[in-house]
Amino acid sequence: MRNYLLLASLLVAGPAMAVVGGGDITFPVQDPGKAVFSHQAHVVKAKVGCQECHPKLYLDVAQSKRFTMKQMEKGKSCGACHQGKRAFELKACEKCHS
């Protein structure tokens, strides 16, 4: 019986301690500085469901690490939402770049 209680507590506590969507993803950009994508900000705060980005915009980290501002301005990657209507515009550089 004790094993079942331990298993049940792990199943309940595990998701609460997990990092949302794999946490932050840092993109090494030289100018204007690295960009950080926060799963927490998008999934929890903005209430964007995983299926809204995966697999439509992003397949996995390895395939999604390389994109340009020109691509984003054409609605690819971050630019699919960050065009000033659904989310802040791409021109708000300081929101992503440090």
Q: What is the pTM of this model?
A: 0.70
Domains of the chain: 23-95 (3.90.10.10)
Q: What is the pLDDT of residue 12?
A: 47
For the chain, the first-to-last Cα distance in angstroms comes to 52
Q: Please return the burial class of 78, using the count of CB atoms within 10 Å of its CB with bins 0-12, 13-18 and 19+.
A: buried
**Is the separation of the CB atoms in 36 and 96 below 8 Å?**
yes
Q: What is the pLDDT of residue 18?
A: 57
- Give pLDDT < 70 ranges for the chain: 1-19, 61-63
Q: What is the pLDDT of residue 61?
A: 66
What are the pLDDT digits (tens) for 74-89? 999 999 999 999 999 9
Dihedral of alpha carbons 61, 67, 73, 76, sign: negative
